[in-house]
Amino acid sequence: MTVEDEAVRIGADFFQDPHRLYSELRRTGPVRRVVLPRGVLGWLVTRHADAKAVLSDPRLSKDFVRAGELLERNREPGSPRPEFGEELQAHMLNMDPPDHTRLRKLVNKAFTVRGVGHLRPRVEQITESLLEAIAEADEVDLIPALAFPVPMTVICELLGVPAADREAFGGWTRVLLSTSASTVEITEAGVAVGAYVMELIESKRSAPAEDLLTALVEAREDGDRLSENELLSMTFLLLLAGHETTVNLIANGVLSLLRAPAQAAALRANPALLPRAVEEFLRFESPVNTATMRYTTEPVVVAGVEIPADEFVVVAIGSANRDAAAFPDPDTVDIERELNAHLAFGHGIHYCVGAPLARMEAEVAIGGLLARFPDLALTGTPLQWRESTIIRGLHSLPVRLGRT
């Protein structure tokens, strides 16, 4: 029997209830050989302490060039490999220091707590107009109505991307993040996104504006701070990470509240709890969930298991955040939870640069929704989770707005 015969397989059924497998693995095998969709082989880490250690261990690398080579070796023979956008991979999340440090410095300032504080009134305005637009409806799908357009509009405005393009971009990224899309679909979406980002950069070159993309184009032109591929990749990463994650923080947060009406009532009664509630939503149904990957540059021992060099380590953030060793009563939503040291934004040098923005957007969107619709409820339609190892998010979130 080979190691792969005993491996955990992440198949289509996993996505509808990952917590069952996570809980079993934390108990019986916290570092296990795993086969991800499309045959990628790695080691799945499911406990909080191990996940935290792995995320900040410099012996684990994210270098995309080497990771690409290792992918050939660490996959089941014959599995299809989508060919997509080498020119979109040269971004900070796929790099180690010193390149990682150089790239992160270029955008860090735009996303500090202070930097995003200035955006709050605009986020409130966007939220209000979206809530106004559904005020007369009986039932809506909250994803297209609120959870998607809030972060997408904000990141587009910050970067200087035309609002009209956001649906197309959202469509491509949904395909890129889906494990059920075919390799042809993924390749096509990758080509379309690449062409789109290139066109966007050209438009900033010919018509500079007061936005983050123009600032990045200027950094590219100014000496050796940013290569052309890095510029394209950074734009792609910010657009992707700027919305694909936060849409699910908002929607998963609302779902958690609607399934725990006493918690929703407590939050309505005391909106000052919102920041703490958002931390709990991040922990409870973490938007970046199953597979944040790195590879070992030397043998590394995790929870007593020796992982050889040049193999992928897959951190299940969504599992770490339900570990009873780190969170009492982990499967219960508690918006007043204290000491919530979740790993939803990662840990170490790649800790999410957009965390202050995501938190603020979620506070505004969820706070605004609760205040406006006191009788908000689920419609009872069965919910379907997207099939993605990166993202935990719903296809749709139908609710009754319940105006009296």
- What residue ranges bind ligand HEM (CB under 6 A)? 55, 92-93, 104, 155, 237-238, 241-242, 245-246, 249, 287-288, 292, 317, 344-346, 350, 352-354, 357-358
Whether omega before 98 lies within 30 degrees of 0, making that bond cis, reads yes
Token pair of 134 as six digits = 């559904």
Residue nearest to ligand HEM (CB): 354
Least separation in angstroms between residue 213's CB and ligand HEM is: 12
Residue closest to 276 by CA, chosen among 399, 366, 354: 366
Contact in structure between 397 and 147 (CB atoms under 8 Å): yes
Nearest-angstrom CA–CA distance, 264 and 391? 24
Least separation in angstroms between residue 241's CB and ligand HEM is: 3
Residue 346 or 368: the one with the smaller Cβ distance to ligand HEM is: 346
Nearest-angstrom CA–CA distance, 246 and 255? 14
Residue 119 or 241: the one with the smaller Cβ distance to ligand HEM is: 241
Least separation in angstroms between residue 164's CB and ligand HEM is: 20
Rounded to 5 degrees, φ, ψ at 297 are -95, -10
In the chain, what are the helix, strand and coil shares in percent, each to the nearest 5? 55, 10, 35
Residue 326 or 401: the one with the smaller Cβ distance to ligand HEM is: 326
Query: 38's torsion region: left (phi>0), alpha (psi -120 to 50) or beta?
Result: left
How many other C-beta atoms lie within 10 A of the C-beta of residue 251? 26
Least separation in angstroms between residue 77's CB and ligand HEM is: 27
Token pair of 330 as six digits = 């982990």
Least separation in angstroms between residue 397's CB and ligand HEM is: 16
Least separation in angstroms between residue 342's CB and ligand HEM is: 10
Contact in structure between 385 and 290 (CB atoms under 8 Å): no
Least separation in angstroms between residue 330's CB and ligand HEM is: 18
| DSSP string across 260-283 | -HHHHHHHHH-GGGHHHHHHHHHH
Query: 91's torsion region: left (phi>0), alpha (psi -120 to 50) or beta?
Result: beta
Residue 62 or 401: the one with the smaller Cβ distance to ligand HEM is: 62
Least separation in angstroms between residue 179's CB and ligand HEM is: 17
Q: Could you tell me how many residues make up the chain?
A: 404
Residue 45 or 241: the one with the smaller Cβ distance to ligand HEM is: 241
Residue 285 or 334: the one with the smaller Cβ distance to ligand HEM is: 285
Residue 356 or 401: the one with the smaller Cβ distance to ligand HEM is: 356
Residue 181 or 357: the one with the smaller Cβ distance to ligand HEM is: 357
DSSP 37: G
Least separation in angstroms between residue 375's CB and ligand HEM is: 27
Residue 92 or 145: the one with the smaller Cβ distance to ligand HEM is: 92
Residue closest to 254 by CA, chosen among 111, 115, 112, 131: 131
Rounded to 5 degrees, φ, ψ at 395 are -65, -45
